[in-house]
Structure 1
Amino acid sequence: MQGEWNCLQALILKDFLYAYYIHCLAHRQQLALVTVSYEIVPIHHFFTKRTSVVNIVGASCKRNDELKLAQAADIEYMISIDELEIGRKFNQIGTLRRPGDTQWSSHFRSVSNLIKMFSATYSVLLNIIEDGDADAAYEVMTTFEFVFILHLMKEIMAITDILCQALQSKSQDVLHAMHLVSSTKALIQKFRDDRQGQALRQEDNFTVAEHYRVNLFYAVIDYQLQELSGRFNEHAVQLLILSSTLDPRKCRESFRIGDVCQLVDKFYLADFTDVDKMNLKIQLDHYEYNVVQHPKFKSLSTIFDLSQWLVSTRKATILPLVYRIIVLVLTLPVSTTTTE
């Protein structure tokens, strides 16, 4: 689809040099997260081992029952030492969740569940230790590396999960999603910097601790930041943000004529002459009063609705340059992957 030489994107660009290709935003983030899990070998092994633990503990009704009993015992003990809050909907008994291959948020929930039920899972594996597979899973689960990566991935996934949910929403707000990309990268960087500051205050040579800090902690975060920056590059992000200016929902809050002109100057140079650009500014002034402030405009929810309404009311013929940029933006559909 997006191959540079022989795929669909390349074929279209042969005839339309100024066509823009925007990959499904939700899938972009999925790819960024998956890349990390494959590029760093210990992380790849962790996900494989995590799946094995979940499958072994949930292999039968008997083991699920044992897991629930172990959870109940853990909850009872934690309540007795005032470590858990008591109340309705608190301390619910659950099961280990199996993640979906294309649902990255499900990996976050699976990792969070395993942390929450770690002690109960440990107890079940200990009880069925005579099973060869259970023995191997028990050995894996009790290693420092497994526990370290379990908590590391939970922290990173917690930061990225809001962006995952926003990109998978059926009623996606592109502008908010793009801002979430920026805040996600900033928070991941902050997570790294905070831990780096703690490391600099410690006196140690290249020890086991340094291995986990450099080869795992920093490596995972740096790969994550690199992938997010590469797949959500500034050029594509700016195009989407400026395009959202024409969204009727955004126009009702604040119609920014300067952003529309900037959109034309940066991304649609071949579609507007210098004279067109001057006339576009005048038409946008009229558009703000005659369209944005029209009572019927409030009922429009998408750019597609807007284009149809402009044609039906013949405003498209009165403001042809504004209509042209709206049509150009409509040729840049941003799809979402709904995985829930």
Structure 2
Amino acid sequence: MTDIVQLGPGAVILGIESSCDETGAGLVRLTDGGPELLGHELASSSDQHARFGGVVPEIASRAHLEAMTHTVRTAFVKSGVKPGEIDAIAVTSGPGLAGALLVGVAAAKAYAAAWEVPLFGVNHLAGHVAADTLEHGLLPKPALALLVSGGHTQLLRIDDLAGGITEIGTTVDDAAGEAYDKVARLLGLGYPGGPIIDQLAATGDPTAIRFPRGLTGPQDSRYDFSFSGLKTSVARFVEGIERTGGTVPVEDVCASFQEAVADVLTAKTVRAATDLGIGTVVIAGGVAANGRLRGLAADRCAAVGVHLRIPRPGLCTDNGAMIAAVGAHVVTAGARPSSPFLTGNPAMSVSAVLAA
């Protein structure tokens, strides 16, 4: 069995991300105040998926194969680090698309073997939270994370990014980012839907249409989410106008839909932080780049005296730097490298930060 690896300040970690439609590579250096970002590079295949209205797994896997080598090389150039200076490699083991994960894991294994450094398969979801430590330093313990992306909407208690994450709330149907993509599709706005809706919402009226707030009744779960009903409500509103030959007020629909999403996300997050007595909230994941979510979260956290941390938009979407960051937490804590038989795990639980 491979010995435990514990690295200290000055060690450099390479992170590789390939869970969905973005190929990422990033390098961080360990410091006493947390991982320091040295540089990263990202290649996206989203344009190839746009005409299908969502990610096509086979296309994503092929795009990772084509982009991986160039992405890693460019990350090294941007960071000023040479391959011989790498002390460990972290790679997304899951969750994600099976084929896409395998491309990243295979590449990371090859690099680890060639450079004779330990390899750690880590959790993509923990990486999103760890991305914040690249900008704001180590998290207090405990912290509460709202992880919100195309495939995940979860409330997580973070006791330790190296292996102490507990889910306290999740979506029972559509994730928030998935709802954005579906609403954008029915409005004919293209893919991905989040940035487009956020942009159009800026010129719309968020009070124009009162869309439903899922799972907010007195008998509903305090911390779980539901966005399927909201998506259906938007669809019925649009269909009703089109049936009568009217013009859909796209900006108002976008603003009202976005307000409903942000309202529920922030209300439940603040409620959980207050209930659990947690003083720091982190919002992470691709939807964390959304302007209205960031603004409303800031207002509501300030109102109850909760400190809010959100990484800059460039660190919210999938990237290799966040994987290097969670790898940095794992090796700092002292962890055993993953097995030579490491593979992708599409259903990897958020509670499992490190793959066997």
> Shorter-chain-normalised TM-score: which range?
under 0.3
Normalised to the residue count of structure 2, the TM-score between the two structures is 0.21
Normalised to the residue count of structure 1, the TM-score between the two structures is 0.22
- Larger strand fraction of residues: 2
**Which of 1 and 2 has greater Rg?**
1
